[in-house]
Amino acid sequence: MSAYFPTIGLETHAELSTNSKVFCTCSAEFGGTPNSRCCPVCSGLPGTLPVLNRKAVEYIIKAGYVMNCDISRFTKWDRKNYFYPDLPKAYQISQMPRPVCLAGKVKINVKGEEKEIRINRIHLEEDAGKLVHDDVNRISLADYNRCGVPLIEIVTEPDFHSADEVVAYLEKIMLLLQYAGICDCKMEQGSIRCDVNISIAPKGSNELGTRTELKNLNSLKAIAKAIEVEIERQEELLDNGERVIQQTRRFNEALGETTAMRSKEDAHDYRYFPDPDIPPIILTEEELDEIRSSIPELPEQRVARYVEQCGIKKQDADLIVSDKKICDFYEEAIQAYDNPKAVANYVTGELLRRKNLGEVDMDDLKFSGREFAQLVEFLQTDKISQSNAKAILGEMIANGGTPKDIADAQDLWIKEDSDLLAKTVDEIIANNPKAAEQYRSGDQKVFGFFMGQANKALKGLASPKAIQEYIKKKLSE
């Protein structure tokens, strides 16, 4: 048991999913040929001026609402001045004293326990570009495509005390941001990024220790690992009678260790001051009401609806909602086939199973929720058998196509062919006289054996119900 108690605060940057950048009309899409998505404004040419994209303001207000923040009625932008080759104006337009959102809270659930994380503030700023280092030719090149992509920075209070809590919080806000349509939260593309401030103090102490800031964290796994190793590092320092130095540290995932980037002494003086190019904005109650009412259904509301109105198990509802792509797919399916329970069962039982095995890529799905719904409907109405349904789904995943076309092409329909059924079952009973005798003498258990044999022989060409009835009838004779 450690003698120390860690305290952690997060600064999370999320890129907004607006079509255009925050201060010009360039596309804000990820990637692209270097410097193909920039203009005189976002590449900082002399004389150009920023014009605020009101859509970005709308998005950050939504973020504020989904994280239960106070929305400032008066908000303004400041310049954060520093030199770096990926920052063409040599200042970042950000917000210092008057951010759009203040004082929020987010509920998280860690191992069954509920906890509230306080949000200090959320502000709107512009992203910087990217440097590409060519080690062979020993040159660095700047790509400004990302310059001016709208970014929100969500700053928490130091309310976390373990890596698990941090991960639970990040998972929660990513879901919220995705469901509200604010950010796609693709950590691997950097559309959501996280800096971790971390300190430890002896248990029972009322004071916080000296903190370090961890940067360069690209996945939830890396974040959890980085927190663990940094806590260990700080504990070791204190155990050896040394001091933690306030500094920024980079996490090296390959080596599983954090290394110093710069100390407090090298910290920039950003010389913040109000940006004279962007007038402050005043938000009216009408505007805010309109924005608030345009927020789509959030994860918790969806779970509640599935449980209360659709009769789905809470556990399954949580599972579906935990992945927005799956959940949207599910929504589409139940629009097409009004049997939410059956669809939910097939989504959690079959689709998610295959997704977890890596067979299904939700970003590159070859069929729609509507087509999936058709498959479930065929299954529910005894038009195809369980095993053939699985085969059809496999085909849909591999090559696409509708369940009907696949069943037609491969002849996978259940046929109410009583002759074939009678002939097959009669043969099975004739070949297993001992088992038939057992059943007739009251041993119901062997019934399953006959069902299995018949299913196997009929290859899904008869419905389970018809098989069952015929076997019962035959064995009772």
Partner 1 sequence: MDITRAKIRDLRKALDSKQISAAELCGEYFKNIEAGDGKVQSFITVTKEKALEMAENAQKRIDSGDVSPLTGIPLAIKDNICTDGIKTTCASKMLENFIPPYNATVIEKLNAEGYVLLGKTSMDEFAMGGSTQTSAFAKTKNPYDLERVPGGSSGGSAAAVSASFAPAALGSDTGGSIRQPASFCGVTGIKPTYGRVSRYGLVAFASSLDQIGPICSDARDCAVMLNAICAHDPHDATSSRQPVPDFTEKLGQSVSGMKIAMPKEFYSDDIDDEVKTHVMNAAKTLEAQGAKLVECSIPGLKYAIPAYYLIACAEAASNLSRFDGIKYGFRGEGRTFEELIRDSRSKGFGEEVKRRILLGNYALSSGYYDAYYKKALALKQQIIKEYNAVFDLADVILTPTAPTPAYKIGAQDNDPVKMYLADICTVTVNIASLPGISTTCGYTAEGLPVGMSVIGRRFDEQTILQCADAFEQTFAPTAPAKL
**Residues of this chain that bind partner 1 (CB under 8 A):** 40, 43-52, 79, 81, 83-85, 88-91, 140, 142, 269, 271-273, 276-279
C-beta closer to partner 1: residue 241 or 276: 276
- Minimum CB separation from partner 1 for residue 346, in Å? 52
Q: Which of 64, 51, 66 is nearest to 20 (CA)?
A: 51
- Give the list of residues 6+ apart from residue 133 with CB closer than 8 angstroms, or none: 139, 140
| DSSP output for 315-358 | HHHHHHHTSHHHHHHHHHHHHHSS-HHHHHHHIIIIIHHHHHTT
C-beta closer to partner 1: residue 133 or 459: 133
Give the three-class secondary structure for 391: helix
Residues 29/229, Cβ–Cβ less than 8 Å: no
- Minimum CB separation from partner 1 for residue 52, in Å? 6
- Minimum CB separation from partner 1 for residue 83, in Å? 5
Q: At residue 385, what are phi and psi to the nearest 5 degrees?
A: -90, 165
Please state, in angstroms and rounded to a whole number, the distance separating the CA atoms of residues 428 and 416: 19
C-beta closer to partner 1: residue 140 or 386: 140
Q: Which of 389, 416, 413 is nearest to 470 (CA)?
A: 416
What single-letter DSSP state applies at residue 265? Answer: G
Please state, in angstroms and rounded to a whole number, the distance separating the CA atoms of residues 169 and 159: 11
Residues 203/209, Cβ–Cβ less than 8 Å: no
C-beta closer to partner 1: residue 274 or 400: 274
Phi-psi group of 252: left, alpha or beta (phi > 0 → left; psi -120 to 50 → alpha; rest → beta): beta
C-beta closer to partner 1: residue 74 or 83: 83
C-beta closer to partner 1: residue 80 or 383: 80
- Minimum CB separation from partner 1 for residue 143, in Å? 12
- Minimum CB separation from partner 1 for residue 22, in Å? 12
C-beta closer to partner 1: residue 91 or 372: 91
- Minimum CB separation from partner 1 for residue 281, in Å? 10
Residues 93/278, Cβ–Cβ less than 8 Å: yes
- Minimum CB separation from partner 1 for residue 128, in Å? 13
Tokens read off for 414: 């259940």
- Minimum CB separation from partner 1 for residue 301, in Å? 37
Task: Give the sign of the dihedral formed by CA 11, CA 238, CA 262, CA 247.
Answer: positive
C-beta closer to partner 1: residue 57 or 108: 57
Please state, in angstroms and rounded to a whole number, the distance separating the CA atoms of residues 400 and 403: 9
